Amino acid sequence: MNILMAGVGGQGIILASDILAQVMLIYGYDVKKSEIHGMAQRGGSVMSHIRFSGKVFSPIISKAQCDILVSSEEVETARYLDFLKPDASVIVNRYRLSPPSVALGADEYPDISDLILEKTPHVCFIDGNDIARSLGNPRVVNTILLGFLSTLLEPDESIWEECFQTMLKGRIRDVNIQAFKAGRAAKAN
Amino acid sequence: MKKILSGNEAIARGAMEAGVHIATAYPGTPSTEILETIAKKFPRIHAQWTPNEKVALEVAAGASYAGARVIAVMKHVGVNVAADPLMTLPYTYIRGGLVLVSADDPELFSSQNEQDNRNYARFAKIPMLEPSSSQEAKDFTIEAFEISEEFGTPVMVRTTTRISHSRCIVEVGDIRDQATPTLEKHSAQWVMLPAIARVRHPIIEERIQRLKAFSNTHKYNVMEMNNTSIGIISSGVAYQYAKEVLPDASFLKLGLSYPLPDKMIREFASKVDELWVVEELDPFIEQEVKALGITCHGKDHLPMCGELSPDIVRNAILNTKDEKGSQYNLPARPPNMCPGCPHRGILWALKRNKCFIAGDIGCYTLGFLPPLEAIDTCLCMGAGINHAHGISKALGPGKAKIAAVIGDSTFFHSGMTGLLNLAYNNGTALVVILDNRTTAMTGAQDHPGTGITLEGDHTIEINMETLVRSLGIEWVETINPYDLKNARKMVKRALEHKGPAVIISSAPCVLLKSTKVSGIPLKIDADKCNGCKVCLGLGCPAIEFRDGKAFITEACSGCGMCKDLCAFDAIGGTV
């Protein structure tokens, strides 16, 4: 199974993909995860590859081999469409953060839903920022997306909770568990 | 016990299991987390940030001479800075195991070049191990110490961004006790006078021959015989890509990749029909294979530039082609200086004074991007001051406004000697030290100006102004870069000064927890904004142009620089 998580530096992609990898370790898979985070705090594009199966060699996903793409920002989703398998699932947070050329008025922010639909019919938009605000913490968007993603994966909810318990502490743990559950509930709706 | 560790965390764990006593480094992507992990998780090891990589390696050499196991860590270009001690260190007797970690950056994710530091192993005549996973990163680090002490040589562990920053499962092992350092004298092996070094050189040559024999039987050089129509020699992450693409091929996997195991290579080549060498960047292995008189494929099909991927390896070996990629014209999202970053103010002030701005290595290099477009050169750590001096000397006095910008950490690293030269040789350039009290680009590491060590102890806090004056600069002013009007005025005054001038632009990085910016976003009064775009010229990610007006997003830090620029008093709110 190959999963890509995309977004913008500072959105919490690395924490979310760390939790996903830990869940798959506990579930019994070989797992590898790779990302480029040298510039993660500087607002650039960030992408994390997570791969798990009986045995994983390459830490990065090949083109046309990604099963699920999770993206916390709309235009970031469209950068990785060549990685998708024909029947891949795409989970997109309905959120637009202007790239510099858009902010300066030189480019239009593109509408990406048709671009995704050209690749796969399995697209889900989720209002992660609204849910995060309703939980009182705008920084947990990626954990909400993780909750949504978890419904497409084998491991039981209890393994996810165990990982939140061991990897996070105190209030941060509590808000993230809450956000994770909200993400699962969003899928149910 | 199984854990998910990054390659860097695994190297740190390996150092702990190997009984390392001392760890030294200057921060640099992708190597930084190795020392951070050691300091945080393994306090038994004394870990220190040094001002630069040369210092890191020389401190390491001293610790080794005292019998301690020691690890010196740096990014690939950092090894250039440490190259002076590195080339002579192998001539000296390595007492406690000494391991140099070089973290290379194929694809230049966060670097100024993509040099292949495997060449340093051959250049310095030292053995090198190349891990291809986190498990190997840990195990090879431990083995590197064993080899170092067995052969009395420094050993290099060469990682790359994809190894350092990928996470995979590691079975952790037992932690070994540290040796007790003692003082001994070995002057015939430690004092590299010509007469002694001349005697030591043949010993190095003889040692590398012994290491070659050792490499031929080493447990980390492994033949994986399978279908023999294609045989692949590979190392590092390239092995994983090739294995992913051709799981049924035969492999010669090189873990101890210098000196190369010549007999093993000959044997492997004789067993396969078509031989390939799959490696990133330079044809380091390939050239040695060809020098053995063996025909192989490699860089005739694989790129010299950039990192490899399973797709690139597949296309090269199986002669396939990627399906035509989607050609969407998406707006790019390059990294940018943060909202509220103090560098933005001083770069704006230099730009408004029409300066040529020689840059350096740090966040401020991002000021190169539009709309600021305020960086005119960037070569390596500490080069900016010397660029500015060279340009102004070549042009002659008064011909152009030449300035250099350099961060505080970079200044301590290798800017001080350049400034001394500027003063000594009657330079006229303006040097601006962007003093944000941290090593920001690599994620906020302490340095000699912060008053805190890597281990969290209180220590000296170098006063920047005193330091600059002691290097011979008489015209020195410390300014607040958020006060744009004053910054612009002070730059003008400094440029009018006949001799060398230094402005210390003093304001802490906004990412530091201790930094007090209001955090309350400003607002633009749309009725007052006439869409002149002057505020947008700062290149702040929190200001956008929407429907003919400037608009401030929730990313605003409330720093107030844009407010100072607005001639229509349209920007308000609490600052």
Q: What is the pLDDT of residues B418-427, one digit of tens each?
A: 999 999 999 9
Q: What is the DSSP string of B436-490?
A: -SSBTTTT-B--TTTSB-TTS-B-----HHHHHHHTT--EEEEE-TT-HHHHHHH
Q: Tell me: pLDDT of A36 over 60.
A: yes
User: ipTM score of the complex?
Assistant: 0.95
Which chain A residues touch B165 with a CB distance below 8 Å? 34-37
How much is the pLDDT for B574?
A: 56
Cα separations in angstroms, B321 against A100, B318, B326, B333:
34, 9, 14, 28
Q: What is the DSSP string of B121-185?
A: HHHHT--EE--SSHHHHHHHHHHHHHHHHHHTS-EEEEEEHHHHTEEEEEE--PPPPPPPP----
Selected for mutation to probe chain A from B170, B333, B363 (highest A CB count within 10 Å) is B333
Q: What is the pLDDT of residues B257-296, one digit of tens each?
A: 999 999 999 999 999 999 999 999 999 999 999 999 999 9
Q: Residue B513: pLDDT band by 50, 70, 90 thresholds? A: confident
Q: What is the pLDDT of residues B26-41, one digit of tens each?
A: 999 999 999 999 999 9
Q: How large a percentage of chain B has pLDDT more than 90?
A: 95
Q: At B508, which amino acid appears?
A: P
Q: Residue A40: pLDDT band by 50, 70, 90 thresholds? A: low
Tell me how many residue pairs between chain A and chain B have CB atoms under 8 A apart. Answer: 142
Q: What is the pLDDT of residues B362-395, one digit of tens each?
A: 999 999 999 999 999 999 999 999 999 999 999 9
- Residue B333 contacts A, CB cutoff 8 Å: yes
Residue A188: φ, ψ to 5°: -60, -35
CB-based contacts of A183, cutoff 8 Å, min separation 6: A126, A128, A131, A143, A144, A145, A146, A147, A148, A149, A150
Residue B2: exposure state from Cβ atoms within 10 A (0-12, 13-18, ≥19): exposed
Selected for mutation to probe chain A from B133, B330, B442 (highest A CB count within 10 Å) is B330
Which chain B residues touch A80 with a CB distance below 8 Å? none
Q: Tell me: pLDDT of A37 over 90.
A: no
Q: Tell me: pLDDT of A39 over 70.
A: no
Q: Tell me: pLDDT of B515 over 90.
A: no
Q: What is the pLDDT of residues B476-511, one digit of tens each?
A: 999 999 999 999 999 999 999 999 999 999 999 998
Nearest to B168 among A31, A39, A76 (CB): A31
How much is the pLDDT for B575?
A: 44
Q: What is the pLDDT of residues A99-142, one digit of tens each?
A: 999 999 999 999 999 999 999 999 999 999 999 999 988 889 99
How much is the pLDDT for B69?
A: 98
Element (H, E) at A103: helix A100-103
Q: What is the pLDDT of residues A16-26, one digit of tens each?
A: 999 999 999 99
Of the candidates B342, B410, B332, B519, the residue with the CA atom closest to the CA atom of residue B112: B410
- Residue B241 contacts A, CB cutoff 8 Å: yes
> Rounded to whole angstroms, how far apart are CA atoms A143 and B172?
29
- Residue B335 contacts A, CB cutoff 8 Å: yes
Q: Tell me: pLDDT of B176 over 90.
A: yes
Who has greater pLDDT, A49 or B325? A49
Q: Residue B573: pLDDT band by 50, 70, 90 thresholds? A: confident
Q: Tell me: pLDDT of B437 over 80.
A: yes
Nearest to A25 among B4, B366, B369 (CB): B4
Nearest to B330 among A18, A44, A79 (CB): A79
Q: What is the pLDDT of residues B189-247, one digit of tens each?
A: 999 999 999 999 999 999 999 999 999 999 999 999 999 999 999 999 999 999 999 99
A7 to chain B: closest CA residue: B333
Q: Tell me: pLDDT of B401 over 80.
A: yes
- Average pLDDT on A152-168 reads 96
Q: pTM of the predicted model, to two decimals?
A: 0.97
Q: What is the pLDDT of residues B111-148, one digit of tens each?
A: 999 999 999 999 999 999 999 999 999 999 999 999 99
The upper half-sphere exposure of residue B446, i.e. CA atoms within 13 Å in the direction of its Cβ, equals 20
- Average pLDDT on B424-437 reads 97
Q: Indicate the range of A19-33, B304-318, B552-566 predicted with least confidence.
A: B552-566
The count of residues in chain A is: 189
Instruction: Give the minimum alpha-carbon distance from A178 to chain B in angstroms, rounded to a whole number.
Output: 24
- Residue B545 contacts A, CB cutoff 8 Å: yes
| Contact yes or no for A44 and B335 at CB 8 A | yes
Q: How large a percentage of chain A has pLDDT more than 70?
A: 97
SS3 state at B53: helix
